Amino acid sequence: MKRVPKPNRADAAYEHLKGEILGNRLPAGFQATEPDVAEGLNMSRTPVREALVRLKDDGLIDLIPRHGVRVLPVSPDDMREIYQILTALEPEAAADVAEIGLSDAQYAELEAATSDMQRGLDAGDLDAWAAADDRFHRTLLSYSANKRMAAILNRLFDQAHRARMVTLRLREPPAQSTDEHRAILEAMRSGNARKTRSVFRAHRERAAKELGGLLDRIRLTQL
């Protein structure tokens, strides 16, 4: 009988803490000692320390000697750089997928994500909307044949999602973004790589401008 491997506690700590940071439940500026973090997770310090090092590498926290961990703020300049990369690479990944084509089941997954975005919007549940938005982008990227590009973009998605959660309630309900996702899906379904690339790039450019303005406003209030 094959042994079932025990869950990796460092992975569990990493995923939990990352989820709390990306969901803004551990907001920018939150600070705690390593023992306090370990106690809160009901874990020993060794797996927690490993998880914190990974989160530091992700650019989400800073490790301060003798003072523990501090959640880093969302930097407008960092987000501009991240969205510049997303705008350059993600439309290309989507265009490649459109050209190759997807199965009915794969299109159904993307359609379900856009439907969940609309349901969240209609219900005023912005957290559900953001989760569906994130799912759309990650699902689409998972269909890309370029796995190196997918790995780069997935790492950037984490920070982009965090910025989205920070600003989500500072803007108008994201009806336009929802419509843009439908347009991307329709272009992909038609197999039109050029249109998919164009619509996707316009979506990312508009989102970058909106997000940058909101983050600049937040930074001004913190001065």
What sign does the dihedral 8-13-15-16 (CA atoms) show? positive
Average model confidence (pLDDT) for the chain?
90
- CA-to-CA dists, residue 106 to 103, 113, 189, 192, angstroms: 5, 11, 11, 17
CB atoms within 10 A of CB 110: 23
pLDDT of 146 strictly over 60: yes
Which of 178, 160, 182, 110 is closest to 139 using CA atoms? 110
Mean pLDDT of the 13-37 span: 91
Residue 70, classed as helix, strand or coil, is strand
Which of 137, 144, 142 is closest to 160 using CA atoms? 137
Rounded to 5 degrees, φ, ψ at 75 are -85, 125
CB 79 within 8 A of CB 161: no
Q: What pLDDT digit, counting tens, does each position of 150-190 carry?
A: 988 988 888 888 888 888 888 899 999 999 999 999 999 99
22 pLDDT band, cuts 50/70/90, is: confident
Task: Give the pLDDT of residue 166.
Answer: 85
Quote the Cα angle for 137-140-143, to 5°: 145
Residue count of the chain, please give it.
223
Task: Give the pLDDT of residue 221.
Answer: 67
Task: Give the pLDDT of residue 123.
Answer: 97
1 pLDDT band, cuts 50/70/90, is: very low
CB 135 within 8 A of CB 113: yes
pLDDT of 34 strictly over 50: yes
Q: What pLDDT digit, counting tens, does each position of 89-139 carry?
A: 999 999 999 999 999 999 999 999 999 999 999 999 999 999 999 999 999
Task: Give the pLDDT of residue 4.
Answer: 38
Rounded to 5 degrees, φ, ψ at 63 are -100, 120
CB 113 within 8 A of CB 136: yes
Residue 25, classed as helix, strand or coil, is coil
Domains for the chain: give ranges and CATH numbers: 9-71 (1.10.10.10), 76-222 (1.20.120.530)
Which of 136, 152, 162 is closest to 215 using CA atoms? 162
